Amino acid sequence: MVSLGQPDRMYMNTDLTAGLAPITETPTEIAAYLEELNTGALIMSIVHMTGDASILEQVHGPRTLDVVAAGSASGEELLEGGYTRDEVAFVRARALDAIAQWQARGCELPPVSGATITDLYRYMCGGAVEDDYLEFIDEEIALDGIDRRAPRMNDPEIRSRAGEFPVLIIGAGMGGVLAGIRLGQAGIPYTIVEKNPGVGGTWYENRYPGCRVDVPGHSYSYSFAPNHDWSCHFPLADEIRAYFDECASRYRVTSHIRFSTEVVAARFDDASSRWLVEVTDGDGNRETLEARAVISAVGQLNRPKMPAIDGLEQFRGTLVHSGAWPHGLDLAGQRVAVIGAGASAFQIIPELAETAAELTVLQRSPAWMFPNPGYHAPVGAGQKWALEKLPLYSKWYRFWLFYTSVEGVYEQTLADPDWDNPLSVSPANDAMREALTAWIDSQVQDPALREQVLPTYPPFGKRILQDNGTYLAALQRDNVDVVTNAIERVTERGVVTSDGQLHEVDAIVCATGFHADRFLFPMTIVGRDGIELNEQWSDTNGRAYLGITVPNFPNLFCIYGPNTNLVVAGSIAHNAESQVNYILRCIELLLERGYKTLECRQDVHDAYNRRVDEVNAATAWGSPLVNNWYKNQQGRVTANLPFRIIDYWKMTRQPDPDDYVFD
């Protein structure tokens, strides 16, 4: 492990070369591959190959560019990381020389001091970062290959107790598979109950045309299980599902999963301090399972929400929700209406526009969008080559993607109480609004359409989407009509809007989201003394300490629970790892102390949630100017984590026993 603060300690990298594929390409082929690489990560690899950090003095560190910046103030084009073409050419030339020297030494990496590693961290972050951020980076990218988030239960007595602490996990998506991996490493027996026939969670269920993640794939993965073979920088749903399926198989989780089985109810038995979990399989057979702890990994976006529109059930054509797209459904040549213009619709509409005879987009509110020319871009052969063959390039590339998404725009989402503009929440937020408006203006020439697609709420008031120009281009096709009049009702033949017009269609696609404010819905969860979780949460007012534990519900843990959704804070994969780490540490506390249960103290829970509400209310998405799916019916933000991801990482590194009541 890098010992930050002990600059004289040498950091040996020889163990990492074993996992690298040999470089067999010619210098000409290598030079061509280098043209595709991330410059900051390449600089880091040069230092590791040579043991010489002098390049840090010759080229500035990577910089996060404004999302719509096409060039510098002087007009010179800036590439990824804020580098000029001359700077990139210099780095590539140094890299070509460093690779040749490294190969000549038999591909042995020279040792690097702890002080140099600290310099590399600061260089990639732009210099001025607090010391605990360095530890945060060190854990996230694990340059030495040590998984610092793995369970630490090595004491024989603790391992023995672990074997008698069965855990039930609900859901086999990202969080459930991760929890299974960590429990298996700790020697804790577990069962995963999954309602679908396969692994993947939301990525198993969402199979609509164009479905893909809007976080770079190379950071949308477990830190200890990188995937160097993504076909696209922002992978499609099937590829993501396959990744989690492969992880479940590799870490021997699959054999612990009961597929096509659903949890109906879970009740905490006070007498035995165990959870009694009622499940039903695909044939309707019911069974009760016992567990010492229950981990809910059902997430927030797993129950499709059909719109409450009069007459919807009378429609005689094809009616489908984006979150439950039937296998093999093809709407080519048909007249199709899409209800909604959020994240799913943003991906569906360009796909349907290509094949539908007519496409009617029924939009209640338009979306802000980040310019991202590479949103659909494939991962090039050079990038795959570097991830597999260049020393530590993959580690630093992941960190660059992670860091820029974590810190890039956080400050621009915070509200200024003295700012008085209904279109933004602060001067910085307004500058972003102007920049994003310019991006929309650059694509839409029709004034009428521009008025329809230009949001009139602050950026980040609702989810900002990734855009490479495909969406707005689709709206300008001859076979596409954007309708902003409210939907009045649905008839047998189509959709009637508030202007009285009937839009006759053959199919209706409801891209209308999920029951995001009904956590653990529709299960019945009963805690200590018969208290029902649904009643404690008043249906849609979910609250949990750190989004993980809930008073009155001993040994019940949530992954992606209330107020843990990330808006600007990076990859949800990182947050899942923080939460599972915390859960395993809680179980470790129980095993060490010989207690049966732990339960969050009410005062600790309440104080934390007051802080969550306070900070959320002072953000763009918490603004009273905006309605969004992040809020419940009372206007409280129940979905989003308002803190920086490093702050949440600190909160979840180790549970404080004083926060809990032990039995």
Residues 6+ away with beta carbon under 8 Å from 156: none
User: So what's the pLDDT on residue 75?
Assistant: 52
User: So what's the pLDDT on residue 6?
Assistant: 46
- Per the DSSP assignment, residues forming a β-bridge with 371 are 467
Joined tokens for residue 461:
């008031």
Q: How far is CA 330 from the centre of its chain?
A: 29
DSSP structural state of residue 534: H
Joined tokens for residue 314:
């009378």
Nearest Cα residue to 62 out of 425, 401, 495:
401
Task: Report H helices in 444-571.
Answer: 447-453, 470-475, 533-536
User: So what's the pLDDT on residue 20?
Assistant: 87
Using CA atoms, how far apart are residues 282 and 71, in angstroms rounded to an integer?
57
Domains of the chain: 10-146+380-407 (no CATH), 157-303+516-662 (3.50.50.60), 312-368+423-510 (3.50.50.60)
Using CA atoms, how far apart are residues 634 and 657, in angstroms rounded to an integer?
33
H-run or E-run covering 31: helix 27-34
| Contact in structure between 529 and 552 (CB atoms under 8 Å) | yes
User: So what's the pLDDT on residue 2?
Assistant: 38
Residues 6+ away with beta carbon under 8 Å from 419: 425, 426, 427, 429, 430
- 381-389 and 27-34 are packed helices; what angle lies between their axes, rounded to 10 degrees? 110
CB-CB neighbours of 655 under 10 Å:
24
DSSP for 516-579, please give it: TTSTTTT-EEE-GGG-BHHHHTTTT----BTTTB-TT-TTEEESS-TT-B-SSS--HHHHHHHH
Phi (first) and psi of residue 299, to 5 degrees: 75, -170
Joined tokens for residue 148:
């610092």
Nearest Cα residue to 511 out of 390, 628, 348, 367:
348
| Contact in structure between 481 and 363 (CB atoms under 8 Å) | no
Using CA atoms, how far apart are residues 373 and 377, in angstroms rounded to an integer?
8
| Contact in structure between 167 and 189 (CB atoms under 8 Å) | yes
User: So what's the pLDDT on residue 1?
Assistant: 34
Nearest Cα residue to 421 out of 367, 458, 369:
458
User: So what's the pLDDT on residue 392?
Assistant: 94
| Contact in structure between 239 and 171 (CB atoms under 8 Å) | no
Which parts of the chain sit beneath pLDDT 70?
Answer: 1-18, 65-76, 127, 405-408, 569-570
Map residue 79 onto helix, strand or coil.
strand
Residues 6+ away with beta carbon under 8 Å from 358: 335, 336, 479, 480, 481, 505
- 174-186 and 237-250 are packed helices; what angle lies between their axes, rounded to 10 degrees? 10
User: So what's the pLDDT on residue 25?
Assistant: 95
| Contact in structure between 280 and 288 (CB atoms under 8 Å) | no
User: So what's the pLDDT on residue 3?
Assistant: 40
User: Is cis: bond before 156, omega within 30 of 0?
Assistant: no
Using CA atoms, how far apart are residues 270 and 249, in angstroms rounded to an integer?
36
Q: How far is CA 39 from the centre of its chain?
A: 25
Q: Which amino acid is residue 348, in one-letter code?
A: I
CB-CB neighbours of 504 under 10 Å:
14
Joined tokens for residue 508:
């209706």
